[in-house]
Structure 1
Amino acid sequence: MSEWAPKRFWTKAEVTEVPGGHSVELDGRPVRTPAKAALVLPSRDMAAAVAEEWQAQGDKIDPMTMPVTRSANAAIDKVAHQHAEVADMLADYGDSDLLCYRAESPQELVEREAAAWDPYLDWAAETLGARLEPRQGLMHQPQDAEAMARLRAPVHAMSDFELAAFHDLVSLTGSLVLGFAATHRARDPEEIWQASRVDELWQEELWGEDEEATALAKRKRDAFLHACRFHSLARS
């Protein structure tokens, strides 16, 4: 038995200018979020991407084929109402950043992590003015408070839409630094994503590829690349 899905009721999805930004209308009717808030988007490019998703729907609406719309809804219905809390949660990743917790052995993995991660820590020190220090082992060791404060401020300064994207960039990689690298376009998004998977790729080389793990990694990669795109749309 198939699950119920809302049916398409419009012919044309169009971008429209509204106070504070842009929105999308379906045959002249404004799109609203699941919480019934006005869908006011920060850029015409984002509105065009949302309109394209609505226009591409078939007879039944499938939210899973509308990633930009879903992210915009999250920014308006969720992030906007708890911006400071979300920003603090993401900034806290810096104190236990993936890039700072290094293997003690084998030496090949130690060297592989250093080669992949040290350039990002150097970039953060130069670009963001915050030097995070790597540690060997899994025991938590707090980072410098001043460095953490310098990383926290730009997170709080993000718009609701930027922060919605940043949430996924950081949580998917486990790294505040990689999240910033993605938003600053420090390197190609695919390269940044691969940097977050150094340990996983090492395990795959040792034990072979696991189908479920590979499928999960692909879903996470797709979500990461979408978050990169959504952040770009929020600033275009």
Structure 2
Amino acid sequence: MLPSLHRMLASRSMALNSGLCRGLCALESTVTQKRSQASSAERKKFYESVTIAQGEGGYEINLDHRKLKTPQGKIFTVPSEPLAIAVATEWDSQKETIKFFTMHLTTLCNTALDNPTRRNKDQFIRSSLKYLDTDTICYRVEDPPGLVELQTNEWDPVLKWAENRYDVVIGSSTSIMGPVIPDKTKEVFHRHLASYNSWSLIGIEFMVTQLKSLILAMGLVDRFLTVQKAVLLSRLEEEYQIQRWGNVEWAHDYDLQELQARTAAGTLFVHLCSSSSTIKHKLLQD
């Protein structure tokens, strides 16, 4: 089962401000806190095998012979077989303990199934759309010159792509208030987001909150950017400071890897929720 899950998931995968001045103590405290939270979000593994079954409402995940359930006790059922395979891979990859903080796809599915905040589709859209007013790549600095040049060279091409792709005006600003986004632009993005189903919108919202950028998130959804590039662009000022002051490997690298993992999961989730394709069952016999 395990080799098949990894091969099938791989076949559906896509090419996907701070330096030392913040102080070593603050960085160490942050990492220690994260590690402590991670340790508390674990549970001893209680199953041996992970399988997928097609039910009335979609695809279910079985841990041994027990159906996986959501935190609210609902049967864990996803709309597409590729998504089921991806989730099953998360569970199959767990070792002696289940590290829930690494299972981003499972968490996103639980959110979609339980909808703990009781939001509707329009609320999910507005949640992502509000980031357009404070989008990371729209906020520019006036100094130092090196960072100004870096932002221009790296962010402008993405901004130009988005304006051409959606036929809108976005712009950038060095004002603390940010650029003034035209109402027409917001309307266009609202209509575009409305074309996605609720599951995909949950994934898009997750990506937007990770990157603090609706534009970067849509660049990922449209496959204009890879995950690595989008994450780098979202951390541009921090990476610039690292180049100037040096890297605290156990802190900066930890944050980078975490952000890449969450962003990759959100991107994959959106793509798999937007697809209605299935995988031939004969592949499950490998």
Give the TM-score taking structure 1 as reference length: 0.87
Q: CA deviation at 1:135?
A: 0.8
Is 2:119 the counterpart of 1:82?
Answer: yes
Aligned equivalent of 1:50, options 81, 87, 107: 87
Please name the residue that 2:6 is paired with: none
Question: Is the CA contact 1:8–1:59 (under 8 Å) kept in the aligned structure 2?
Answer: yes
Aligned equivalent of 1:33, options 67, 70, 79: 70
Q: Quick one: which amino acid aligns to residue 269 of structure 2?
A: F
Is 2:225 the counterpart of 1:187?
Answer: yes
Please name the residue that 1:138 is paired with: 176
Q: CA deviation at 1:60?
A: 4.3
Question: Is the CA contact 1:15–1:48 (under 8 Å) kept in the aligned structure 2?
Answer: yes
Count of aligned pairs: 235
Please name the residue that 1:147 is paired with: 185
Higher mean alpha-carbon deviation, 57-66 vs 160-169, is at 57-66
Tell me: CA distance 1:18–1:81, structure 2 relative to 1, closer, same or farther (3 Å).
Answer: farther
Aligned counterparts of 1:17 and 1:34: Cα–Cα separation in 2: 21
Aligned counterparts of 1:47 and 1:132: Cα–Cα separation in 2: 37
Residue segments in structure 1 that go unaligned for 5+ positions in a row:
none
Please name the residue that 1:116 is paired with: 154
Please name the residue that 1:63 is paired with: 100
Question: Is the CA contact 1:76–1:160 (under 8 Å) kept in the aligned structure 2?
Answer: no
Aligned counterparts of 2:239 and 2:49: Cα–Cα separation in 1: 45
1:154-202 per-position Cα deviation (integer Å, ceiling 9, x unaligned) = 2233223212221221112111100100111112221122111211111
Please name the residue that 2:26 is paired with: none
Higher mean alpha-carbon deviation, 51-60 vs 160-169, is at 51-60
1:91-121 per-position Cα deviation (integer Å, ceiling 9, x unaligned) = 0111121111111122322221111111111
Q: Quick one: which amino acid aligns to residue 38 of structure 1?
A: I
Higher mean alpha-carbon deviation, 97-106 vs 20-29, is at 20-29
Please name the residue that 1:234 is paired with: 273
- Compare relative contact order (CA 8 Å, sep 6+) and give the higher one, 1 or 2: 2
Please name the residue that 1:98 is paired with: 136
- Alpha carbon RMSD of aligned pairs, Å? 2.4
Tell me: CA distance 1:184–1:79, structure 2 relative to 1, closer, same or farther (3 Å).
Answer: farther
Question: Is the CA contact 2:171–2:179 (under 8 Å) kept in the aligned structure 1?
Answer: no
Structure 1 SS opposite 2:170: coil
Q: CA deviation at 1:65?
A: 4.1
Give the TM-score taking structure 2 as reference length: 0.73
Tell me: CA distance 1:90–1:4, structure 2 relative to 1, closer, same or farther (3 Å).
Answer: closer
Is 2:23 the counterpart of 1:23?
Answer: no
Question: Is the CA contact 1:32–1:39 (under 8 Å) kept in the aligned structure 2?
Answer: yes
Question: Is the CA contact 1:122–1:131 (under 8 Å) kept in the aligned structure 2?
Answer: no
Structure 2 SS opposite 1:17: strand
Structure 2 SS opposite 1:146: helix
Aligned counterparts of 2:240 and 2:149: Cα–Cα separation in 1: 12
Please name the residue that 1:203 is paired with: 241
**Percent of matched pairs sharing the same residue:** 25
Structure 1 SS opposite 2:247: coil
Residue segments in structure 2 that go unaligned for 5+ positions in a row:
1-38, 276-286
Q: Quick one: which amino acid aligns to residue 208 of structure 1?
A: G
Question: Is the CA contact 1:95–1:142 (under 8 Å) kept in the aligned structure 2?
Answer: yes
Please name the residue that 1:222 is paired with: 261
